[in-house]
Structure 1
Amino acid sequence: MGLRFTNSTSDVFKARKTPPAHYLLKIQSFSSLSRSSLEKYSSDKFDVGDYKWRLTIYPSGNKDRGGQDHISTFLTLVNTSSLPVGWELHAVFNFFVYDQLRDKYFSLTDNQLRRFHTMKTEWGEAKFVELQVFNDSSNGYLINDACVFGVEVFVLKQTRKAEWLSALEKPNTGCYTWPIKSFSSLTLDRYDSEGFVIGGYIWRIRIYPRGIGDGKGNSVSAFLSLDESSLPLDTRLVVRFTIRVLDQNEPKADSFEVTRDNHFGASCLAWGVQMFMPLAKLNDPKQPYLVEDNCVVEADVTLFGTVSTAS
């Protein structure tokens, strides 16, 4: 007969030859332990993943958690007072019992992934193995009144990051208009407008008159940039913006524009389009965008909210 696990989710078990990697608890005179007034036995502390743990066995079951007629096993994180405020960790663990006749270690099929924190430092299996099965020496778990339990613990490295989106009840919007004179005389690779404030942050329109990247030599590249000095630490802005070149004959009728939705933050302070407006289109005298070598670039900015991040 094989070991029968009767936890609430599965009766499936698995066997292997390899002992548990992290801790073994060998018990002599198990019957004496189970008859004693000692409700549970906790092992010595052992180290895994820079943390200290104990394996706890309830020889007659943890009745407070419904473990009557079973052996209960629990894993406890100890010495937590030395951990930083607000600590938490996730660990995958599995309990084992040794079949001494067949030289195999049995455990539940599914490893346990649990979150340990200040309010929850112990997890386990109230119904790890039935006492009736365990006490039957033909099953190999209790031989000459001796038995062996074990546990493996794998602490997951904390790489998760979190973010908090604070959406504005009413988005902040604004518009800035930038007249550019003598466009053909612009000799620098990049030009920035004066700073303008929308939503409490400082913005600038940025253009590359002869383009950059895919737009180099064939287009005007245009971007909206955020002044980092106005941005709080670990904060991103949720923004929709439109950059346009105005039709100087009918500014409200036929502008050339693009619209983008982006997050502005320390890792990316400028967003835009490398191939914003073809130079051929801008320089075409039949088009209303460059008049007497002057053009007008405009930016609409809508701030929808802020995102703060933390590890």
Structure 2
Amino acid sequence: MYVELDKSCLSSTTTPPKEVFAYLSFFVFNKKENKYFSVQDVEVKKFTSSRTVWGVSQVLPLEKFNDPANGYILDGEEHEFGTHVKIASAPVPVDENLPFHKFTWSVRDFSLLKQGDYVSKNFQMGEKKWTLTLYPKGDSSSEGELSKYLHLAEGESLLIGELIMVRAQMQVLDPRGSNHLSGGFLESWVMTSTTSMGLPQSIPLAEIEEGYLDGEDTLNVEIESEITNAIRNDPFF
């Protein structure tokens, strides 16, 4: 599914924009479930006079889409499709210094922690409070590795149709100050159905125990994050 920008909008005013940035979502109605199946592109797309078409090459497998039992074929051979285009500001390059929210968490007695999750204190980002969750022995998807997630804090919630785009990076700090472990930046939508985001690069526990605990058995982690976009009333979420 694809959307195309009408080139005339780039030349219809006295000072036309040379570029238009937008987030794209695509929808296919499922009669059986009486709701839309949606695919959302989390990266902003740049439309220009030389690139007016953006989209996704596959929303649903063709075999699944064409099987009447799955609910995507309506009366006769009709289908119902939709798209949502959210105009965005120009993205800031990754290597540019941004006014990130920075939060540092010292996890004491790290080597003594047992299986399970450990939650940081709240910190403010935008209009809401957030927390970090660590699984020091790994979660179900990464046993034996440090797993980490950014969550909306307990008591915080999103309204129906409210979406927040968060860009974040977490580092495990080197107590010697020379070789911090970072998984790079992750950008993802947070919405009512997914109020957390996993942060990239699961780190082997053996590597942490060998070089990233200070003399008091403390692991220091730091997250840099910012809200890059927010939608208040998306009709499809």
**Class of the TM-score when normalised by the shorter of the 2 chains:** 0.5 to 0.7
Distance 1:206 1:233, change over 3 A: same
Structure 1 residue 221, shift from structure 2 partner = 0.5
Equivalent residue for 2:205, pick from 250, 254, 279: 279
Equivalent residue for 2:102, pick from 175, 178, 185: 175
Which residue of structure 1 aligns with residue 84 of structure 2? 162
* Structure 1 spans left out of the alignment, 5+ residues: 1-152
Query: For the aligned residues, what is the CA RMSD?
Result: 3.0
SS in structure 2 at match of 1:254: coil
Match status 1:193 vs 2:120? yes
Distance 1:215 1:230, change over 3 A: same
Distance in 2 between residues matched to 1:176 and 1:187, nearest whole Å: 24
Distance in 2 between residues matched to 1:156 and 1:239, nearest whole Å: 37
Distance in 1 between residues matched to 2:167 and 2:204, nearest whole Å: 23
Which residue of structure 1 aligns with residue 230 of structure 2? 306
Match status 1:264 vs 2:209? no
Distance 1:288 1:220, change over 3 A: closer
What is the total number of aligned residue pairs between the two structures? 154
Structure 1 residue 166, shift from structure 2 partner = 5.4
TM-score (norm 1): 0.43
Distance in 1 between residues matched to 2:80 and 2:169, nearest whole Å: 39
Equivalent residue for 1:224, pick from 142, 146, 150: 150
Distance in 1 between residues matched to 2:215 and 2:182, nearest whole Å: 18
Structure 1 residue 288, shift from structure 2 partner = 3.8
Distance in 2 between residues matched to 1:276 and 1:201, nearest whole Å: 26
Describe the superposition over 1:218-251 as per-residue Cα deviations: whole angstroms up to 9, x where unpaired.
211011112372534312111210111111121x
Equivalent residue for 2:219, pick from 295, 298, 307: 295
More moved, 223-232 vs 182-191: 223-232
The amino acid of 1:277's aligned partner reads I
Which residue of structure 1 aligns with residue 169 of structure 2? 242
Distance in 1 between residues matched to 2:235 and 2:182, nearest whole Å: 36
Which residue of structure 2 aligns with residue 65 of structure 1? none
Which residue of structure 2 aligns with residue 36 of structure 1? none
Does the 8 Å CA contact 1:202/1:230 hold for their aligned counterparts? no
* Structure 2 spans left out of the alignment, 5+ residues: 1-74, 93-97
Structure 1 residue 266, shift from structure 2 partner = 1.4
Does the 8 Å CA contact 1:175/1:298 hold for their aligned counterparts? yes
Which residue of structure 2 aligns with residue 254 of structure 1? 179
Distance 1:273 1:301, change over 3 A: closer
Task: Indicate the structure with greater strand content.
Answer: 1
Distance 1:274 1:167, change over 3 A: closer
SS in structure 2 at match of 1:160: strand
Does the 8 Å CA contact 2:167/2:188 hold for their aligned counterparts? yes
SS in structure 1 at match of 2:174: coil
SS in structure 2 at match of 1:302: strand
Distance in 2 between residues matched to 1:202 and 1:230, nearest whole Å: 10
Distance 1:160 1:172, change over 3 A: farther
Percent identity of paired positions between Structure 1 and Structure 2? 21
Distance 1:210 1:248, change over 3 A: same
SS in structure 2 at match of 1:229: coil
Distance in 2 between residues matched to 1:249 and 1:203, nearest whole Å: 28
Distance in 1 between residues matched to 2:90 and 2:157, nearest whole Å: 18
TM-score (norm 2): 0.56
